[in-house]
Amino acid sequence: MSKLLPATLVAISLLLNCTQRLHPAIAATCASKCPPPPLAFVPGQRINFQVVNATASIVLVEKVEGTSAIPIRPGQEVRFQRWTGTEPNMSVVFWDATALPLLTRVSKPNDDTLRIELRPGGRPPGDRTIYILNDGRVTVF
């Protein structure tokens, strides 16, 4: 019994000491720190593509099952007019002519335009495809 009392006192003091350091969690909305909404278009909408080559080498761009590869020089911007979004799961494939990895930034400058900016970098093999799903969402692979 005499050994049980000091052990109990030590355990209680450790528990009280630990609970004083705990901070209660505060719930809040993400109003000021929300991630941007996912990039998407209205399903079936006609989409203009802008492809910008921000690399130091030639980049080849191809619409899967629609065009042959189009070379884009460094610093060049190419526009593809009115590809329809009604095609099932439309894809745009791109690659660096020197096989370097690419980093892709996509944006929606207006309601019917998808801007694809190709930059050097990323981990090999890098970004290679823009995929537009039937529901209008845009995904980078």
Q: What is the pLDDT of residue 121?
A: 87
Q: Where are the domains of the chain?
A: 1-141
**pLDDT for the residue 2:** 61
Return the pLDDT at 118: 94
Q: What is the pLDDT of residue 124?
A: 86
Per-residue pLDDT tens over the stretch 95-113: 999 999 999 999 999 988 9
Q: 78-93 as b/e, with b when 16 or more CB fall inside 10 Å?
A: bebeebebeeeebbbe
User: 108 with 132: CB under 8 angstroms?
Assistant: no
Predicted confidence at residue 3, as pLDDT, reads 64
Does 32 have pLDDT greater than 70? Answer: no
| Measured distance CA(53)–CA(103) in Å, rounded | 11
- Domain 1-141 falls under CATH 2.30.30: no
Higher pLDDT, residue 9 or 107: 107
Whether the predicted model's global pTM rises above the 0.85 cut: no
What would the mean pLDDT of 4-17 be, rounded to a whole number? 65
Cβ atoms < 10 Å from Cβ of 127: 21
Q: Which of 80, 78, 90 is nearest to 54 (CA)?
A: 78
